[in-house]
């Protein structure tokens, strides 16, 4: 049993924390919306008053928040997780943020005698619940070796990719394909439907065809029935694509399909669907095609 902390107990973070509890670990948690943390008390979670208090209580603290501003909010200040770091503490950030921010926070943690890894995940709520989540890790190799067994309690595929910031770079690069696949899938379904094929038939054929990636197999059916609660909303997906486009500009890498997907995410947000699962990109294309969403 390990003595762990978890900061950020939203849809994914709360489920990861619950998974760690189910593996027999002690987990002290914090969420800016306290009610989300308190929901996990029945599963054995100890609720802390601040991010700093979580780090003080734990040997290894995981962080999973929505965006760079949220990460800064839980990291900085007298109650932030950096304030709680003393020599020997380990922070594992599972958020998807820019590599520069990740490296900056890791350096500040090191200055206090701790270590920080960036360890974003690839997968969804369903992937996590099926025990198939993939985790990529950047940072000090010795620290990675120490926490790898804990990461394997979360998901079976854990890959060390290199120095601080490289795991978030890898995650950003991966999420380009997630958005682009969803856009191409939506185009294909609409083209089939407008030609006279039932939408449900098109979805079934395409998700079981050569293009039926794991992501499309679980998210493709969302074009028939959107989930009540977004698995990964439009705002968050666009955040990742903007990070990718910023990286690409700095590195002189053209991202034509990412740019196209980004425009359609902007359209979806303009139509008021920023909090909906990013599969709602289908509805935006539907409306442009003169079809019922």
For the stretch 221-252, pLDDT in tens is 999 999 998 999 999 999 999 999 999 999 99
Structural domain that includes position 187: 171-288
Residues 178, 227, single domain; the answer is yes
For residue 124, being part of any structural domain is answered with yes
Domain stops at, among 114, 149, 164: 164
Catalytic site includes residue 39: no
Please report which helix (H) or strand (E) contains residue 128, including its range. helix 125-129
Q: Is residue 31 part of a domain?
A: yes
Please give the pLDDT value at position 123.
Answer: 87
17 with 160, same domain: the answer is yes
- What's the predicted TM-score (pTM) here? 0.92
Catalytic-labelled residue, pool 112, 171, 194, 239:
171
Across the strands, what pairs with 135?
Answer: 121, 158
Give me the CATH number covering residue 175.
1.10.1040.10
Determine, yes or no, domain membership for 250: yes
| One domain, residues 259 and 280 | yes
Question: Is there a domain that residue 293 lies in?
Answer: no
pLDDT value of position 131: 85
Q: What is the pLDDT of residues 190-214, one digit of tens each?
A: 999 999 999 999 999 999 999 999 9
Q: What pLDDT shows up at residue 164?
A: 97
Residues of the chain by 3-state class (helix, strand, coil), percent to 5: 55, 15, 30
Residue 35: pLDDT band (50, 70, 90) is confident
Whichever domain contains 159, its CATH number is 3.40.50.720
pLDDT-based confidence at 182, cuts 50/70/90? Answer: very high
- Interval 147-163: pLDDT, tens: 999 999 999 999 999 99
Predicted local confidence at residue 132, as pLDDT = 86
Same domain, 160 and 181: no
pLDDT value for 293: 74
Give the total number of structural domains in the chain.
Answer: 2
**Averaged pLDDT for residues 56-75:** 96
Q: What is the mean pLDDT of the chain?
A: 96
Residues 155 and 185 in one domain: no
């Amino acid at each position: 049993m390990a003595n762990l902390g978890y900061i950020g107990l939203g849809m994914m973070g709360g489920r990861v924390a619950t998974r760690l509890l189910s593996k027999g670990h002690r987990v002290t948690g914090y969420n800016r919306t306290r009610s989300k943390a308190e929901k996990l008390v029945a599963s054995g979670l100890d609720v802390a008053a601040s991010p700093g208090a979580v780090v003080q209580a734990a040997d290894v603290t995981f962080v999973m928040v929505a965006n760079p501003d949220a990460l800064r909010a839980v990291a900085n200040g007298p109650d932030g997780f950096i304030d709680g770091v003393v020599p020997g503490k380990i922070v594992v950030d599972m958020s998807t943020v820019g590599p520069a921010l990740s490296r900056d926070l890791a350096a500040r943690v090191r200055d206090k005698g701790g270590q920080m890894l960036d360890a974003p995940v690839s997968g969804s709520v369903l992937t996590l619940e099926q025990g198939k989540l993939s985790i990529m890790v950047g940072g000090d190799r010795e620290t990675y070796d120490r926490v790898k067994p804990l990461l394997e309690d979360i998901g079976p595929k854990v890959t060390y990719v290199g120095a601080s910031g490289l795991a978030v770079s890898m995650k950003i690069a991966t999420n380009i394909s997630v958005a682009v696949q969803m856009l191409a899938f939506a185009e294909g379904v609409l083209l089939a439907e407008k030609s006279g094929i039932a939408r449900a038939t098109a979805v079934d054929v395409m998700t079981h065809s050569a293009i039926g990636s794991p992501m499309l197999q679980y998210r493709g059916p969302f074009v028939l029935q959107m989930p009540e609660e977004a698995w990964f909303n439009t705002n968050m997906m666009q955040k990742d694509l903007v990070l990718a486009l910023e990286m690409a500009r700095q590195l002189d890498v053209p991202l034509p399909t990412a740019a196209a997907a980004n425009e359609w995410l902007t359209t979806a947000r303009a139509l008021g669907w920023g909090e909906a699962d990013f599969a709602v990109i289908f509805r935006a294309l539907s409306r442009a095609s003169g079809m019922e969403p």
